[in-house]
Amino acid sequence: MAQAHCVQVDPAFVQAPEHRPKAAISDADGVPLVDLSPLFSDSAGDTIPATLLSQVEVASRDWGFFQVINHGVPLEVLKKAEAAEKKFFALPEEEKLKVRRDEANRFGYYESEHTKNVRDWKRIFDFVLQERLDVTGLVLKNRWPEVPLDFRESIEEYAKCVEKLAFIVLELISLTLNLPPKRLNAFFEEQTTFVRLNHYPPCPYPDLALGVGHHKDSGALTVLYQDSVGGLDVKRQSDGEWVRVKPIPNSFVINVGDIIQVWSNDKYLSAEHRVSVNTERDRFSIPFFFNPASNIDVRPLPELVDDRNPGKYKEYNWGEFFKRRMDSDFKKLEVENIQIDHFKRA
């Protein structure tokens, strides 16, 4: 990713013409905004306002994406995590490579991610919430850099606070599916959640490359913090246009992942999204990928299917799915990556 005076295009980063970013549509009619303050006000008691639930329901159904404000994650926790992230990525490459992921354990630093076999214009650092050696052969083990000194503490604190928010959103989603609020919580007791720090450096050819190629998130929910630069684009369900998710200071972007799409039997949508890059500014983001335990078999929730509305997916095991996805990061595949569509009933 060296800066060059005359632009040299590395073909590994070049998207097929149909996937190249044209100017994203404006943010008018953009992703819905949900204010979570009623959940934190003293006078609220235990009742959740129907308007809040209906906003979450409509957003999850029509967009699969929404932004939340007044979410309970303290501003100073966000700022510390963002500062730690910037300091880490500013380290010399050889320092970051000391915590590089490898084939045996894919957590840590990585500078060569591919989405659908095209290289992404980004660097990442991944860590899991719960370290564990799994029965499926998943190695969930973290690598921590020695510097910056407060790195681990800052981002673990961030992860703890965002986990609370993820459970809040999970409970709201459960309620909007007419289920008890904690119906889905047990799936996450031995969660395989991981947090990713993303650094998208300026790119000399943002019309050809992407920070992350178009994809859907395969877990249950993603809770993402983005800085003020902008670049996250969502494919709008109503017309298939790419829409920019406008950065709102001190907010989070929530998106429904494939697992909630399957649990809800397609009531809710795991939307396609991507990250556009730009020639001028470094962009930083921190997604929290809220994933269930690896022994969970994913299928439409029995409460939501009946004879008139049969299950639309065959059951699949999350741990196996997750492992195949992670392994594929290391092998350039001729075949398409595993997708939930492969479990869709005809």
Min dist CB 10 to ligand OGA, Å, is 21
163 binds, among Ni ion, ligand OGA, none (CB under 5 to 8 A by kind): none
Closest distance of CB 304 from ligand OGA, Å = 26
Closest contact distance (angstroms) between CB of 219 and ligand OGA is: 10
Contacts of 164 (CB under 8 A, 6+ apart): 72, 73
C-alpha to C-alpha distance for 311 and 42, rounded to whole angstroms: 41
Cβ at position 32, least distance to Ni ion in Å:
18
Query: What span, in angstroms and rounded, lies between the C-alpha atoms of 71 and 15?
Result: 36
Least Å from the CB of residue 81 to Ni ion: 18
Q: Residue 323 in contact with residue 311, Cβ under 8 Å?
A: no
**Please, are residues 82 and 247 in contact by the beta-carbon 8 Å criterion?**
no
Sign of CA dihedral 304, 309, 310, 311: negative
Residue 163 interacts with Ni ion (CB under 5 A): yes or no: no
What letter would DSSP give residue 303? G
Partner interacting with residue 319 (select from ligand OGA, Ni ion, none; CB below 5-8 Å by kind): none
**Residue closest to ligand OGA (Cβ):** 285
Nearer to ligand OGA among residue 31 and residue 224 (C-beta): 224
CB–CB of 220/288 below 8 Å? Answer: no
Pairing of strands 297-298, 232-235: unpaired
Q: Can you give the C-alpha Rg of the chain in angstroms?
A: 20
Selection from Ni ion, ligand OGA, none that 198 binds (CB < 5 to 8 A by kind) is: ligand OGA
CB of 71 or CB of 235, closer to ligand OGA: 235
**Site mask for Ni ion (CB under 5 A), range 185-224, x = bound:** --------------------------------x-------
Q: Is 126 in the site for Ni ion (CB under 5 A)?
A: no
Q: Is 325 exposed, middle or buried (0-12, 13-18, 19+ CB in 10 A)?
A: middle
Binding site residues, ligand OGA, CB under 6 A: 196, 198, 212, 217, 224, 226, 232, 273, 275, 285, 287
Residues interacting with Ni ion, by CB under 5 A? 217
